[in-house]
Structure 1
Amino acid sequence: MYAASEAEGHRAMALALKVGELLLGSGEATERVGGAMRRITETYGLRNVEVDVNLSALTLSQVPEDGRVATTAERRVRRRQPDYDRLIAVHDLVGEIASRQLTLAETHERLREITRRAPVYPGWAVTVSLALISASAAVLIGGGVVVAMAAFVATVLGDRVSAWLARRGVAEFFGLATAAALGALVAVLLIWQEVNVQASAVVVGAVIALLPGRPLVACVQDGIAGEYVTATARLTEIVFIVAAVISGISTTLVVAVKLGVPITIDNVPTAPLSAAFPQLAGALGVSLTFAVALLVPPRHLLGGALGGLLIWVGFVFLSHHGFPSLVSTTISSALVGVLGTAYARRVNVPSMVFVIPAIGPLLPGSVLYRGMLEMSLGELSNGTLHLIEALSIALSLGAGVILGAEILRAFRGRDLARRIRPASRRTRGY
Structure 2
Amino acid sequence: MSASPLEQAPDQQDLYRAMVLALRVGELLLGSGEGTETVAGSMRRITNAYGVPHCEADVNLSAITLSHVPSDGGAPVTAERRVRRRLPDYDRLIAVHDMVREASGGSLPLDDAETRLREITRRVPVYPNWVLITALALIASSASILVGGGVLVAVAAFAATVLGDRAGAWLARRGVAEFFQLAVAAMLGSLVAVLMIWIDAPVQASAVVVGAVVALLPGRPMVACVQDGIAGEYVTATGRLFEIFFILTAIISGIGVTLYAAVRLGVPLSVENVPAAPLVIRPEQLLGAIGLTLSFAVALLVPPRHLIPAAVGGGVVWVVFVQLYIWQVPVILATAVSAAVVGLFGSAYARRARVPSMVVTIPAIGSLLPGTALYRGMLEASLGHADEGLVSLLQALSTALALGAGVILGAEILRAVTGSDLTRRVRRPSGRRRPFITRPAARRTRGY
For Structure 1 versus Structure 2, the TM-score category normalised by the shorter chain is over 0.9
Q: Is the 8 A contact 2:10 2:52 kept in 1?
A: no
1:259 pairs, out of 262, 265, 268, with: 265
Q: Normalising by the residue count of structure 1, what TM-score does the alignment of the two structures yield?
A: 0.99
Please show how residues 4-83 of structure 1 align to structure 2 within 5 Å.
Answer: 4-83=10-89
Match among 151, 160, 167 for residue 173 of structure 2: 167
Deviation track 1:354-382 (CA, whole Å, cap 9, x = no partner) reads 00000000000001100010011111111
Q: How does 1:218-297 map to 2 (within 5 A)?
A: 218-297=224-303
Which residue is equivalent to 2:391?
385
Cα displacement (A) at 1:64: 1.4
1:187 matched to 2:193: yes
Aligned residues with identical type, % of pairs? 65
- Taking the aligned partners of 2:177 and 2:421, their CA distance within structure 1 comes to 46
**CA displacement at 1:338 relative to structure 2:** 0.6
Q: Which residue of 2 aligns with 1:86?
A: 92
- CA offsets, 1:224-258, max 9 Å, x none? 00000000000000000000000000000000110
Task: Note the alpha carbon deviations across 1:264-293, whole angstroms, 9 max, x for none.
Answer: 111200000011111001000000000000
Q: 1:319 aligns with which of 325, 329, 334?
A: 325
Secondary structure of the residue that 1:73 maps to in structure 2?
Answer: strand
- Structure 1 position 132, deviation (Å): 0.1
Would you say 1:428 and 2:434 are equivalent positions? no
Distance 1:428 1:413 in 2: 23
Quote the Cα distance in structure 2 between the aligned partners of 1:269 and 1:30: 37
User: 2: distance between equivalents of 1:395 and 1:414?
Assistant: 28
CA drift at 1:129: 0.3
Q: Which amino acid aligns with 2:439?
A: R
| 1:233 maps to amino acid | G
Q: Aligned pair 1:143/2:161, yes or no?
A: no
Q: Note the alpha carbon deviations across 1:202-236, whole angstroms, 9 max, x for none.
A: 00000000000000000000000000000000000
5+ residue gaps, structure 2: 424-435
Distance in 2 (alpha carbons) for counterparts of 1:153 and 1:173 = 22
Provide the aligned length of Structure 1 versus Structure 2. Answer: 430
Stretch of structure 1 that moved more, 374-383 or 1-10: 1-10
Contact 2:28 2:93 in 1 (8 A): yes
* Cα deviation code 1:400-425 (max 9, x no counterpart): 01000000111124784573211111
> 1:4, CA displacement in angstroms?
4.0
Which residue does 1:105 correspond to in 2? 111
The verdict on how the C-alpha distance between 1:415 and 1:285 changes in structure 2, with shifts beyond 3 A counting, is closer
Judge which range, 9-18 or 41-50, deviates more.
41-50
3-state DSSP class of the match of 2:215? helix
**What whole-Å deviation, never above 9, does each CA across 1:335-356 have from its counterpart, x for those lacking one?**
1111110011001000000000
Tell me by how many angstroms 1:141 deviates: 0.5
Equivalents in 1 of 2:192, 2:339: separation in Å? Answer: 32
User: What residue is the counterpart of 2:426 in the other structure?
Assistant: none
CA RMSD of aligned residues (A): 1.1
AA matched with 2:171: L
Q: What TM-score, normalized to structure 2?
A: 0.95
Distance 1:89 1:162 in 2: 29
Distance in 1 of aligned mates of 2:24 and 2:383: 49
State the alpha-carbon separation in 1 of the partners of residues 385 and 29 from structure 2: 43
Q: Judge conservation of contact 2:259–2:379 (CA < 8 Å) in 1.
A: yes
The counterpart of 1:398, out of the listed 404, 408, 416, is 404
Query: Is 1:368 the counterpart of 2:374 in the alignment?
Result: yes
Query: 1:134 aligns to what?
Result: 140
2: distance between equivalents of 1:416 and 1:210? 35
**Structure 1 residues not aligned, in runs of 5+:** none
In 1, Cα distance between equivalents of 2:33 and 2:421: 27
* 2:280 counterpart SS class: coil
Is the deviation greater in 64-73 or in 189-198? 64-73
Q: Deviations over 1:161-188 (max 9, x none)?
A: 0000000000000000000000000000
Distance in 2, matches of 1:245 and 1:25, equals 22
Task: Give the distance between the partners of 2:229 and 2:410, measured in 1 at CA.
Answer: 15
1:332 aligns with 2:350: no
> What's the secondary structure of 1:359's corresponding residue?
helix
> SS state of the match for residue 411, structure 1?
helix
Distance 1:419 1:355 in 2: 24
Match of 1:419 in 2: 437
2:205 maps to what in 1?
A: 199
Q: Classify the secondary structure of the residue corresponding to 2:64.
A: strand
CA distance in structure 1 between the partners assigned to 2:159 and 2:46 by the alignment: 46
Q: Is the 8 A contact 2:313 2:360 kept in 1?
A: yes
Amino acid at match of 1:424: A
Instruction: Tell me, in whole angstroms, the C-alpha distance in 2 between the residues paired with 1:356 and 1:268.
Output: 26
Rounded to whole Å, the distance in 1 between the matches of 2:438 and 2:256 is: 44
What corresponds to 2:316 in structure 1? Answer: 310
Deviations 1:297-355 (A, max 9, x none): 00001111111111000000000011010111111110111111001100100000000
